[in-house]
A and B are shown apart, each in its own frame.
Chain A
Amino acid sequence: MTAIMNIGLNHFLVLSGTLFFIGLFAVLSKKNVIAVLMGLEVMLSSVNINLIAFNRYTSPEILTGNVFAIFVIALAAAEVAVGLALIVAIYRQRKTAEVQDYDLLKW
């Protein structure tokens, strides 16, 4: 019971990992390309929990993890901008938002 109620690093790591794989589930299973992108965002965001949890519990005196998380957020912003731009461009080209129709990457 103490292990459950005494919140520590493990709890945060399990939370972030679970969130990450829920995002992966979205990426792997959704038809709509926007939904895939959303899953991707969740994945990226869950990584931040990881970084900050480690920062908080293993070296709280230096905030390197926080700085990394900020960089990840900046990257996520850039990614979503470019990702959405690509989706729009592809959508114009193929008139569909379904990932299964994006199948040029084969023989």
Chain B
Amino acid sequence: MTFAVMFYVIAIITLGSALMMVTSTNIFHSALLMLVSFLGIAAVFVLLQADFLAAAQVLVYAGAITVFVIFGIMFTMKGDARKTNRFSKNAIPAAVLSLILIVINAAMVLKTQWPVSSHAPLEETVSSVAELMLTKYVVAFEVTAVLLLIAMIGAIVIVKEVKKPS
């Protein structure tokens, strides 16, 4: 019962903030609402007993990515902040399409019989995750490391000011 209440509260916060993020016309508000949404997702992770993931979510999404996004907003913003984040002409078709997809998704999820396991969840996740990542998925792990490096270098190269030939 408590679990259900917690789930619904968290779900409403997450979805609500995400929805408001979309509808807000002020991009700063959007960014902050996105932050709330990310924190909600972290809470969902806690509900799912993925505490390490919840921590990572808070660090990476709520921390790094939000800061990045706000930096981007600062960089590109001009004019009145209240009009920085308006809808385009596609808003209504896009809303309809998204709604249809939400309904389809929910219907399909509810229609499907999932092979639910009765096994109890692990108490301690960090060590298991670490073991999996350093044994079975060690190659993917290393590749991800390289990918991050490449992304870093790429971002620097792209952003670097191109010197105009004088």
A residues near B (Cβ < 8 Å) are 4-15, 17-26, 28-35, 37-39, 41-42, 45-46, 48-49, 52-53, 55-64, 66-67, 69-71, 73-82, 84-89, 91-92, 97, 99-100
* C-alpha gap A23/B45 in the complex (Å): 19
* C-alpha gap A16/B38 in the complex (Å): 12
Minimum C-beta distance from A106 to chain B (A):
16
Q: Is the CB of A29 within 8 A of B101?
A: no
Task: Closest B residue to A45 by CB, please name it.
Answer: B41
- Checking B22, B122, B128 against A22 with a beta-carbon cut-off of 8 angstroms, the contacting residue is B22
Q: Is the CB of A6 within 8 A of B85?
A: no
Residues on the B chain within 8 Å of A10, using CB: 109-110, 114
* C-alpha gap A13/B105 in the complex (Å): 9
Minimum C-beta distance from A21 to chain B (A):
4
Minimum C-beta distance from A93 to chain B (A):
9
Residues on the B chain within 8 Å of A52, using CB: 45, 48, 50, 53
* C-alpha gap A87/B109 in the complex (Å): 36
* C-alpha gap A87/B65 in the complex (Å): 15
Q: Is the CB of B91 within 8 A of A77?
A: no
Task: Closest B residue to A54 by CB, please name it.
Answer: B114
Q: Is the CB of A60 within 8 A of B119?
A: yes
**CB contact list, B92-129 vs A, under 8 A:** 94-95, 97-99, 101-102, 105-106, 109-110, 114-117, 119-122, 125, 128-129
